[in-house]
Amino acid sequence: MNLIFQKKSYCFKLSAKLENSKNSHHTKSGWIIKLTSNEKIGFGEVSPLHKEDLKKCAKQLNMISSYEELFNLSEQINIFHPCIQSAINSALAEINGKIIFKENYYFDEIDKTAILLNHENVVSDLNQIKKRQSDIRKSLTIKWKVALKNNHEEEATLEEILSQIGNNIKLRIDANGSWGRETANRWADILKDNKNVDWLEQPLCVDDIEGLTELNKKIPIALDESLLKFPNLIDEWKGWQIRRPSQENNPVKLLRELENKKALISISTSFETGIGKRWLYHLSSLQLQGPTPKVPGLAMNRFPNSFLFLNEPKKIWDQL
């Protein structure tokens, strides 16, 4: 199959600064790619999570010719950054009909995705969210990024949060790999019998698989960064998995897992444009039909109002 390869770069400002214990972002950069074969078009997005990977991706994208043969392109990208592989494989899946997007997915309402708490004012933010909740019988999922302040302070905040949430509010706590075993065990002990907790996300550093496995016996542990560093864990980890289609070599693997009703998967944004968002929505809707439905983490309140987030990829491409 002969392919025409095109790329365009983008950069946008997030509507609020995004901070976790390891990184802080206010802008997001990446590329939209377009593959054309005969009359068929597939779009993909190169959306590295870490700014330091942008240079590497730029260099590798420049190595891809405008006219490529499928076999050569597939061989060439094998050693490229996973985000480039993801973009090309996504576009190819679209061309080959391996994924067929729907027109609408209905993730725009507040309760359809996990709501990220502002870590500066966690409790007042939680109260604002509760106030905005149009129907208090509906359940909400909130996500709190921890290990940004000292642990003593955060444990006090945890007590406050727990005293303020009823059964209809679920809680996800993400340490982004910054806790040691002692702190993680303290939190696991506090939360292990609490029905409000979905999971502790990446409580220990990416490499401490033994510690994570032990903790997972006490309380549900979701791996995030560990899965990106050790993709083999996708087939081995027995607990929850935070999955990011734009960061995996081939999101078709994730698509097939969800189609085959694999459990304990939660879909997460890497702050993609409308191009990558199509995968997030499609996979999230499959996840919700699976054996362990959970709202995805799509950070809907972080995106500016821009053509970049339209549902029509052609319009995004043409205007970029």
Q: Which residues bind Mg ion (CB under 5 A)?
A: 174, 201, 224
d(CA 257, CA 285): 13
Instruction: Tally Cβ neighbours within 10 Å of residue 49.
Output: 17
Nearest distance from C-beta of residue 191 to Mg ion, angstroms? 17
Choose between 18 and 99: whose C-beta lies nearer to Mg ion. 18
Nearest distance from C-beta of residue 144 to Mg ion, angstroms? 11
For residue 249, give both structure tokens. 């070599």
Nearest distance from C-beta of residue 201 to Mg ion, angstroms? 5
Choose between 166 and 180: whose C-beta lies nearer to Mg ion. 180
CB 33 within 8 A of CB 41: no
Choose between 89 and 226: whose C-beta lies nearer to Mg ion. 226
Helix or strand or coil: residue 18? strand
Q: Say which DSSP state 265 is in.
A: E
Reference 28, options 226, 211, 277; nearest CA is 277
Nearest distance from C-beta of residue 177 to Mg ion, angstroms? 9
Choose between 10 and 279: whose C-beta lies nearer to Mg ion. 279
Nearest distance from C-beta of residue 221 to Mg ion, angstroms? 12
Nearest distance from C-beta of residue 265 to Mg ion, angstroms? 14
CB 260 within 8 A of CB 278: no
Choose between 35 and 175: whose C-beta lies nearer to Mg ion. 175
Residue 182 neighbours by CB under 8 Å, 6+ apart: none
Choose between 86 and 268: whose C-beta lies nearer to Mg ion. 268
CB 200 within 8 A of CB 220: yes
Chain centroid to CA 304: 18
